[in-house]
Amino acid sequence: MKITAQEEYGLRCILQLAHYPPGEPVSVTEIAEREGLSTDYVTKLLVLLRRAGLVESIRGVNGGYTLTKNPEDILLIEVLQALDGDSVFYQDTGESDLCKQFTGKLMECAHAKQCGIRPVWITLMRYIHKMFSQVTLAQLLKGEEVILNIVKEPQDLIQIGNYTGSLR
């Protein structure tokens, strides 16, 4: 799994908004300066988050961007899906969806009948999806200690060897 710059910086931008009370706009310039990014790039990221309904723009001299919900109500998975909705790691997908992505020139995966790697990918994807679905922006603002108590070791979240079953 590769975390893209768009995902990392987009998450950092929305966390900047989460520091402020609901309805209090933060300017693109302010976010860009705090994160060391260009205003054009911050605008691009905020547009993606706005299209997903996570932030809204307020026009005018005192305008900027604000969250549409409280930070407690925005999940990490929602932010990541808004920034890269195509990633299989952010979807609660089944094995057939995964196999359709890697067919090469064939109509179906060459290993569709017997595949040793499929259970590994499915288990990993389910773990990542579940973990990202448990963490809110408010929790991320509280720091590493809080997150370490929320995010458990993989064996606490999944049953290795039972990839067709659901997570605990």
Residues 137-151 pLDDT 10s: 999 999 888 888 877
Q: Are 26 and 66 in contact, with CB atoms under 8 Å apart?
A: yes
Task: Please check the confidence at residue 48 and state whether its pLDDT lies above 70.
Answer: yes
Tens of pLDDT, residues 71-115? 999 999 999 999 986 665 555 555 556 666 666 777 677 776 677
Q: What is the pLDDT of residue 143?
A: 87
With cut-offs at 50, 70 and 90, classify the pLDDT of residue 156.
low
Task: Please check the confidence at residue 158 and state whether its pLDDT lies above 70.
Answer: no
155 versus 46: the higher-pLDDT residue is: 46
Share of the chain above pLDDT 70, in %: 74
Q: What is the pLDDT of residue 166?
A: 42
Q: What share of the chain is helix, strand, coil (3-state, %, to 5)?
A: 50, 5, 40
Q: Where are the beta strands (DSSP E) in 22-132?
A: 55-58, 64-67
Domains of the chain: 5-67 (1.10.10.10), 87-157 (no CATH)
